[in-house]
Amino acid sequence: MSIRIIIPAILLLLLALVPFGAQTLQVLLTLALAKGIAVMGITVLLRSGQVSFGHALYFAIAAYGGAFTLMLMPGADLIVVFLLGVMAAVLSGVLVGLFVARYRFIFFAMLNLAFSMIFWSILEKFYHYTGGADGMRLPRPTVFWIEMERGAYELFMFYLALALAIGLGWFSMRWLESPTGQLFRTLKTNETRLQYLGMSPQRVLMNGYVLSAMLCGTGGILMGLVQGVVTPEYAYWIRSGEMVFIAVLGGAGSVPGALVGAAIYEIVRTYASAFAGDVWQLVLGSFLLIIILFAPGGIAGIYNSLMDRIAGKKEDGE
Amino acid sequence: MNLTLFLLALFDGIAYAALVFIVAVGLTLIFGVMRILNVAHGSLYAMGAYLTASLTTFVLAAGLPPIFAFPCMLVSAVLIGVVLGGPLEWLLLRRIYHKPEVLQLLVTFAIFMILEDVQRLIWGTQPIFQSAALQLMGNVKVFSVNYTVYQLILLPIVAITLLFGLRFFLRRTVAGKLILATTEDREAAQAIGIDADKVFLLTFIVGAGLAGLGGALASPTTSILPGIGADMIVLSFAVVATAGLGQIEGAALTALMIGLGRSFAVYVWPETQVLVPYLIMVAVLLVRPEGLFGSPSARKI
């Protein structure tokens, strides 16, 4: 087995052991995994050459969907809350997608931003329903109709997030390799050719858009359930920008890169916020510039070239 | 809705549209020439506003009469254009013209993130209010409505002067014609000896300066606080997209449309105030994807 596969496998194993070895990291990593799943949505879109500055919209819709479910159906089970939240994100992804799939590049990015700003202002203005800037609470639901203590619940959420991250990550990678995904990626390389093949680019983009909305929604509902509260900040452009940043950091278009990027991002942020909290956007922006200008492959790119070098050396030695 | 409210909404709309137009025209000018959407445009607007407020406060504290608030605005706009806009184009944007569009967007977005924090570092998070210029010009009574001269007369005059000034500049002066030629076909322009790099730099400085001017003019009318830059970039994008990217005259009309729509929403159904501009944009784009005045671009195969 090549070293290229062994290292991620070891990392995953270490991650699965975190609750036993480094419990202080557990909640942090749960949030990182949730964010990583959302970032995979951006990553998928990047494979078609599109970037969205408003995907926090689906992140927030799912979380608010979950909060409303818990408000209207007190005692609803985790499964119900989770599924309804994700469904809300997928549904709004279809509705918004029907509109934005007609656009590319600048318009695509900015129209998404506009939609997320609209949703954000709705959340802030209609405070009778949404709680305004204070947001809504998501009381801890039952898990498979079993009441859980806080510790057990957090442990469960960690493994749920881990399982979802692996499952959805695998699914996204398979999807990108599938015929539908190949067509989707053709949007980046040659959209005209796609049309000559008799496909509708809008419909092709739509497929990926709904998938990305689903991924962002899954991340959002997980985040909401773990934090126990959802605020309009979930939909704010800073959140979208953060997701785009992590996607580029992890390696534009690399699904595992999204997860690694999210983990690194969350850990650095937690420990750096003490002395860089005021200038966090500044630090992010500068890093974004550096990555784009000097290391366009991101973490995944660096990892791959490192692995290539190791593999190359071995061949030389033999 | 009685006459008083109607007039109030009308005046609010006109004053607001004038401001938005000044910012949006910079955005659309930069896009038209450089084919780059400058996401950091909103930050330049916010910094123009902050800088004006600080300068004005400083000048007044030095004992100068309030009339000096107006030169402060011009100084801030020029500073934003030259000191901030110039180096941005020269050091960063110049590196990315040949890169994919996604990366161009990401770079200006990164600049936006950086500038948002720079503002907070310099001016803090407390709202700043400096309305010397507004008070100096007093009020005017139209029918039964008292309204500030600054917003009702000065802002629209500046906006209209700018519209015609830009038209004149682009079509009648040599520098403007060079810009138009570069917009039309960069390679052909370079072949006949136009320095495209210089044209781009000039355009970006002018565009950034317009964002700064918009902020400068807006500063007496509102309290300046973090986040106005983000609101403004989305709003001015809505204006520019509704008009069609790169359309200067169209931007004036859609700014008026969106400004009026927004101000009437304030009086009729306040909660929807923020939504109306986007609803107008979405409605227009559904019917005409290239904007009201844009023409569908020919496909290159």
Residues 6+ apart with CB under 8 A from A67: A135, A136, A137, A138, A224, A230
- With a CB cutoff of 8 Å and minimum separation 6, the contacts of B150 are B133, B134, B137, B220, B221
d(CA A224, CA A34): 9
Q: Which of B101, B118, B238 lies closest to A106 in CB terms? A: B101
Cβ–Cβ below 8 Å for B274 and A125? yes
Across the interface, whether the CB atoms of A285 and B117 are under 8 A apart is answered: yes
Report pLDDT for A313: 63
The complex scores an ipTM of: 0.76
Interface of A with B in 187-246 (CB under 8 A): 192, 237, 241, 244
- In this prediction, residue B210 has a pLDDT band, given cuts at 50, 70 and 90, of very high
Q: Does A276 touch chain B (CB under 8 A)?
A: no
* Closest Cβ opposite residue B230 in set A237, A279, A282: A237
* Chain segment B23-61, per-residue pLDDT in tens: 999 998 888 888 888 888 999 999 999 998 888 888 888
* A91 shares contact with chain B (CB less than 8 Å): no
CA-based nearest distance A51→chain B, Å: 6
Chain B positions in Cβ-Cβ contact with residue A285 (cut-off 8 Å): 110-114, 117
Asked if A151 has any chain B CB less than 8 Å from its own CB, the reply is no
User: Cβ of B120 and A278 within 8 Å?
Assistant: yes
Nearest CB among A110, A192, A296 relative to B301 is that of A192
Q: Between chains, do B102 and A118 touch, taking CB under 8 Å as contact?
A: no
Q: How far does the CA of residue B234 sit from the closest CA of chain A (Å)?
A: 6
> A293, B111: Cβ pair inside 8 Å?
no
User: Is B275–A241 a contact, with Cβ atoms under 8 angstroms apart?
Assistant: no
DSSP codes joined into one string, chain A: --HHHHHHHHHHHHHHTHHHH-GGGHHHHHHHHHHHHHHHHHHHHHTTT---S-THHHHHHHHHHHHHHHHHSTT-BHHHHHHHHHHHHHHHHHHHHHHHTT--HHHHHHHHHHHHHHHHHHHHH-HHHH-GGG-EE-PPPBBTTB---HHHHHHHHHHHHHHHHHHHHHHHHHHHHSHHHHHHHHHHH-HHHHHHTT--HHHHHHHHHHHHHHHHHHHHHHHHHHHSEE-GGGGSHHHHHHHHHHHHHH-TT-HHHHHHHHHHHHHHHHHHHHHHGGGHHHHHHHHHHHHHHH-TTHHHHHHHHHHHHHHHHHHHH-
Q: Could you report the per-residue pLDDT of B93-127, keeping only the tens digit for each? A: 888 888 777 788 888 888 888 888 888 888 887 88
C-alpha torsion sign, points A239, A242, A246, A248: positive
What is the C-alpha to C-alpha distance for residues A115 and B82, in angstroms, rounded to an integer? 33
pLDDT given for residue A209 in this prediction: 92
Contact yes or no for A110 and B234 at CB 8 A: yes
User: Cα–Cα distance between B148 and B220 in angstroms, integer?
Assistant: 11
Q: Which residues of A touch B274 (CB under 8 A)?
A: 117-118, 121, 125
Contact A106 B92 (CB under 8 A): no
Question: Is A118 close to B275, i.e. CB distance below 8 A?
Answer: yes
**Phi, psi torsion values for B215, nearest 5 degrees:** -65, -40
Cα–Cα distance for residue pair A299/A291, rounded to 1 Å: 9
Per the CB < 8 Å rule, is A118 touching B120?
no
Query: So what's the pLDDT on residue B300?
Result: 52
Say yes or no: A2 contacts chain B, CB-CB below 8 A. no
What local confidence, expressed as pLDDT, does residue A317 receive?
45
A281 — contact with chain B (CB < 8 Å)? yes
Q: How far apart are CA A244 and CA A265, in angstroms?
A: 12
Query: Smallest CA–CA separation between A292 and chain B, in Å?
Result: 7
pLDDT at A194: 80
A282 to B92: CB separation less than 8 angstroms, yes or no: no
Name the residue in chain A with its Cα closest to that of B283.
Answer: A99
Q: Touching check for B253 and chain A: CB below 8 Å?
A: no
* Structure tokens belonging to residue B205: 């400085």
Does residue A171 sit at the B interface (CB-CB below 8 Å)? no
Give B129-134's long-range contacts (Cβ < 8 A, gap of 24+): B129/B53, B129/B223, B129/B224, B130/B52, B130/B53, B130/B56, B130/B57, B130/B219, B130/B220, B131/B220, B131/B221, B132/B56, B132/B60, B132/B66, B132/B69, B132/B220, B133/B56, B133/B66, B133/B69, B133/B70, B133/B73, B133/B220, B134/B220, B134/B221
Whether A46 and chain B come into contact, CB under 8 Å, resolves to: yes
Distance CA(B40)–CA(A177), nearest Å, equals 36
- The answer on pLDDT for B85 being more than 50 is yes
- pLDDT for the residue numbered A125: 80
Residues in chain A predicted with pLDDT less than 50, given as ranges, are 317-318
For residue B192, is pLDDT > 50? yes
pLDDT at B205: 92
Beta-carbon contacts below 8 Å between A and B: 108
Average pLDDT of chain B, as a whole number:
84
pTM of the shown model: 0.82
Reported as a single tens digit per residue, the pLDDT across B237-260 is: 888 888 887 788 888 889 999 889
pLDDT score at B299: 55
Cα maximum dimension of chain A: 71
